[in-house]
Amino acid sequence: MSEGRIRFRHLQAFLEVARQGSVARAADFLHVSPPAVTKTLRELEEALGVAVVERDGRGIRLTRIGEIFLRHAGTAITALKQGVDSVRQDGAVNRHPIRIGALPTVSARVMPLAMTLFLKEGTRAAIKIVTGENAVLLEQLRIGALDLVVGRLAAPENMTGFFFEHLYSEQVLFVVRAGHPLLDPNQDVFARLDEFPMLMPTRESVIRPFVDRLFITNGMTAPATEIETVSDSFGRAFLRQSNAVWIISAGVVANELGSGAFVALPVNTEETKGPVGLTMRTDTAPSPAFSILLQTIREAARQGS
């Protein structure tokens, strides 16, 4: 292996191919041609002396060695960006934003107040917030595309290289619009659920296994009409104009429940309660602005719980 032959462009191309699962999509993101990405990957493999990617149907996937190298490549890119930020100054402003991945429940419940508190600190640091499924956000965190994920604690097998700080616990609710037929008294909710469309968490989401077990416990297998979504804006709009039942984390709809626009069905969902918190890489070395941001998120979570 010749470490001296490995350049930033090799790591950048490798990380983007790992994230996209496609040379063509990686090339589009990097604004280069697919043959250029392929050539860069070959140069990397020659320098390493091992294959890090392999064909997977029409796409591409990492080899076992590639998965190991991914963790270190992501760390290297992040360390380099932090080093550049530490010496590239424009007053007190970091050019590279602090990148946060937030689950929909956190985006609605915690991040607005956290950002309000953070802006009052006057750090002038740039912030980028993205929302998505927990598994997607954690993968972006792993490869260095994110600095922090705020959301549910992932399964142990997905936490390698990460550490988690608990903020609060949250459970899933069965939510409907005000005036929904299932709100009539003395009803068996589960006996009638198949009469209505169900907005469900996706199968890749952290909360989906809890929801599936809840159905089984109450004598159901799967809803007759199921729509999987992680879009809280779609969920809110669809619920307001239909008789759908939305299975969603409580924090996402806290404002609507408080105003009476939405109502939680009388379903015992205590077993779906789980920890929500901060997930970071174990090698994270927070900048002063990042440390202040963490403090404001903790304070926002404390006030909102």
Question: What would the DSSP string read from start to end of 211-271?
Answer: HHHHHHHTT--S-SSEEE---HHHHHHHHHTS--EEEEEGGGGHHHHHHTSEEE-S---GG
- Give residue 158's pLDDT: 82
pLDDT in tens, 238-269: 999 999 999 999 888 988 999 999 999 998 99
> Which DSSP symbol is given to 181?
G
Judged against a pLDDT cut of 90, whether residue 129 lies above it is answered with yes
Q: Quote the pLDDT of residue 84.
A: 62
Q: pTM of the full predicted structure?
A: 0.66
Model confidence pLDDT, tens digit, residues 175-200: 999 999 999 888 888 889 989 999 99
Task: With a cut of 90, say whether residue 294 has pLDDT above it.
Answer: yes
Q: What's the confidence (pLDDT) of residue 118?
A: 94
- Residue 21 to residue 28: CA distance in whole angstroms: 13
Q: Is the pLDDT of residue 8 over 60?
A: yes
Domains (range + CATH), the chain: 8-88 (1.10.10.10), 98-169+275-303 (3.40.190.10), 172-272 (3.40.190.10)
Please give the pLDDT value at position 172: 92
How far apart are the C-alpha atoms of 239 and 262, rounded to whole Å? Answer: 8
